Amino acid sequence: MEKYKLAFYWASSCGGCEVAVLDIHENILKVIEIADILFWPVALDFKYKDVEAMKDNHIDVCFFNGAIRMSEQEHLAHLLRKKSKIMVAFGACACHGSIPGLANFFYRDEVMNRAYLETPSTVNPENILPQEVTKVKEGEITIPEFYDTVHTLGQTVKVDYFVPGCPPVPDQIMTLVEALIKKELPPEGSVIAGDKTLCDTCERLREEKIVPQFKRLVEVIPNNEKCFLEEGIICCGPATRSGCGNRCINANQPCRGCFGPAPEIHDQGAKLLSAIASISSINEEERVGEFVNSIPDPAGYFYRFTLPYSMLKRKLIREEKK
């Protein structure tokens, strides 16, 4: 049998997804049996021009992790799409924007100023900011453009399969590998994860979801058995896709929502907001402020992993200066 040709790429991400590939342990040998790796910048020395030299559709499967934040990443997304038969959005950043996507709460200049001027650990007396083009005596040197808005891979190019999670779990990776081995691929556009909400698969004790007061995780030690929401700890389970194996829940931590919206949910943050507001026990109009104040950062909490994928996608775009 001819071996599959695989490519891995990382865009705006932390590198955790690259490590997650190794979480399948000795199963990696199965992968090596069926596949050759043609491109993997984190592990092996390839050049972009090697990819450019390939024929279209030369790569069988490209595992693309990370969000699209810079022109280089966007370029590679288009390039790898052209060279790959199957494009897999691998991990929460590629699927939904995830943590790098939280930059969509800010504008480009705010991000730059914070990173290069304002942070207490920065010494930059000449206020030098990165420039796309710099003239030196040998000519011009360029760096990629830093965009105002973080996008998901699916918004940038056509994606065949989505593997959500921060990072994805071995089960999802093996589902895809087994499908490749058997040549029984799921329908295009499939999300390789569960098809229920996390709450549906949670085994914690649920009695009656009425919450007198929401607390932040730092303020309480969660009970090991009871539903987090019933204890007043915000858990993203009601609006989050299952399939992670409930790792956080089993470690006595509430769900943070990294698998993105459950099927049929358009906007994870809006649905979570709705769910959280329904279970508060505050029924007096004059006390609603207490409820609202108990959730200091609703947008950040409810859209932690999905801001670029949400309906609004980012903070209001500023009018262009005339």
Partner 1 sequence: MVFEPKIVGFLCNWCSYAGADLAGTSRMTYAPNVRPIRVMCSGRVDPTFVIKAFLEGADGVLVAGCHPPSDCHYQEGNLKTMRRIPLLKKMLKQMGIEEGRLRLEWVSASEGAKWARVVNEFTEQVRTLGPLNWKVPQPKGGKH
Shortest Cβ 42–partner 1 spacing (Å)? 22
What is the radius of gyration, based on Cα positions, of the chain? Answer: 22
- Binding flag, residue 230, partner 1 (CB under 8 A): no
Which pair of structure tokens corresponds to residue 273? 């907001």
- Binding flag, residue 14, partner 1 (CB under 8 A): no
Q: How many Cβ atoms are within 10 Å of 155's Cβ, its own excluded?
A: 16
Residues from 75 through 104 that contact partner 1 (CB under 8 A): 75, 77-78
Residue 105 contacts residue 299 (beta carbons within 8 Å): yes
Shortest Cβ 80–partner 1 spacing (Å)? 11
Angle at 31 between CA 25 and CA 32, to 5 degrees: 105
AA identity, residue 210: I
Shortest Cβ 41–partner 1 spacing (Å)? 17
- The correct pick among 121, 127, 224, 283 for binding partner 1 (CB under 8 A) is 283
- The correct pick among 273, 304, 305, 306 for binding partner 1 (CB under 8 A) is 273
In angstroms, the CA 52 to CA 31 distance is 25
Residue 24 to residues 43, 50, 100, 131, 161, Cα–Cα distance (Å): 17, 28, 25, 41, 19
Listing DSSP states for 179-231 in one string gives HHHHT-PPPTT-BSS-SSBHHHH--SB-S---BS--B-GGG-PPPSSB-TGGG
User: Of the ranges 17-25, 51-59, 93-101, 274-282, which one interacts with partner 1 (CB under 8 A)?
Assistant: 274-282
- Binding flag, residue 59, partner 1 (CB under 8 A): no
User: Of the ranges 37-45, 70-78, 110-118, 222-230, which one interacts with partner 1 (CB under 8 A)?
Assistant: 70-78
76: nearest Cα among 153, 166, 137: 153
Residues from 137 through 196 that contact partner 1 (CB under 8 A): 144-145, 147-149, 151, 155-156
Shortest Cβ 245–partner 1 spacing (Å)? 28
User: Of the ranges 36-44, 46-54, 226-234, 306-314, which one interacts with partner 1 (CB under 8 A)?
Assistant: 306-314
- The correct pick among 3, 47, 196, 266 for binding partner 1 (CB under 8 A) is 266
- Binding flag, residue 134, partner 1 (CB under 8 A): no
Residue 259 contacts residue 198 (beta carbons within 8 Å): yes
Residue 254 to residues 98, 152, 246, Cα–Cα distance (Å): 17, 25, 10
Report the interface residues with partner 1, using CB under 8 A: 68, 71-72, 74-75, 77-78, 105, 144-145, 147-149, 151, 155-156, 266-267, 269-271, 273-274, 276-278, 280, 282-285, 288-289, 291-292, 295, 297-300, 302, 311-317
